Amino acid sequence: MTPATPPPSGVYVPAVLFFDENEEFDVPSIQAHVLRLAQGGVTGILVQGSNGEAQHLSHDERKAAIRLTRQTLDENGFPHVVVIAGTGGQSTRETKKLCADAAEAGAAYCLVLTPGVWPPQMTPANILRFHREVADASPIPTMIYNFPVVTAGLDLTSDIIYELAQHPNIVGTKLSCGNIGKVHRLASSVPSTKFATFPGVSEVFLQGLVSGSAGVIGALPNIAPKAHAELYRLYKAGKLEEATRIQAMLGHADWELRKLGSIGGIKAAVSKYFGYGKPVVRGPLSSPNMETASIGRLEELIAFEKAL
């Protein structure tokens, strides 16, 4: 197997998926969101990350969302924006099928979540075997998704991820654990030409870059893609002090968004401040009341975003 190439460095966003009142796809709002993200300067869009409610969708819906995202980008002059698909399933067999579906629907990479239904059975040997078997079968390169919150507390060590990084078809990782030590260990151990290490939260975007990360794959660019692209530009230009000021805004806003309930909070904020989409999530999730929520620092970031 010829070694695959990792995704380019930059800002990636696990896009939320908009629904109508009947919890069916709100296609115009999904397209409006994809275009605002692309126009805001993101490098890529992750479809069916945790923020995309992947576990709440059928296989057909997952394929349809990937295809809709890729087509919307291509038809509006953004063929260079990368599409990554979340393909985590609870069995190796299902995950392989989701990877094949993602490739067929137009994704360039798969982001694979470790199964978390039986945590005591997920020994290091089983985790390594799962990701290697999926990568062997996947028609497009895979990435390791480490998010203990949604995998019953399973937190892959840098040792395990380093071993997986040696596979020719495994090309990166999203570390939603937010562990900067882990980011630094991996970024300094595996060449960036072979393996891209991304923190999965905006509150450590700049800290990750300083540690050698490939950028960020975070929820907050759903609200403020331009602010993230600007921080990345400033860092690359060596303007660390200016980048640090933006990072402070991102850190406060990321924390407020988490307290809002993340997915429902993102949709509610986008609906209120950017004028498209309804704050509908599939149960058992819920959306916050934006009129009573404490969102001062989030509003500060939104004002900055709109000024860019």
Q: At what angle do helices 263-274 and 240-260 cross, to 10 degrees?
A: 110
Q: Which one is catalytic: 63, 174, 226, 267?
A: 174
- Distance, in Å, from the CA atom of 8 to the CA atom of 25, rounded to the nearest integer, reads 30
Dihedral, 223, 18, 54, 146 alpha carbons, nearest 10: 0
Q: Is 182 marked active-site?
A: no
Catalytic residue (choose from 12, 63, 96, 145)? 145
For 171-228, give the secondary structure using H, E and C: EEEEECCCCHHHHHHHHCCCCCCCCEEEECCHHHHHHHHHCCCCEEECCHHHCCHHHH
Residue 206 CA, distance from chain mean position:
16
Residue 217 is assigned to a ligand binding site: yes
Give the pair of three-digit tokens for residue 120.
């005591």
145 is annotated as an active-site residue:
yes
Specify which residues 10 forms β-bridges with.
215
Partners of 173 in beta bridges: 144, 197
In the chain, the N- to C-terminal Cα span, in Å, equals 44
Rounded CA-CA distance 16/50 in Å is 9
Integer angstrom CA distances of residue 265 from 97, 216, 222: 31, 20, 11
Q: From CA 30, how far away is CA 80, in angstroms rounded?
A: 19
Q: What is the CA angle 120-195-87, rounded to 5?
A: 50
Give CA–CA dist 73/37, Å, rounded. Answer: 10
Binding residues: 217
Positions marked active-site:
145, 174
From the annotation, which residues make up the binding site for pyruvate?
Answer: 217
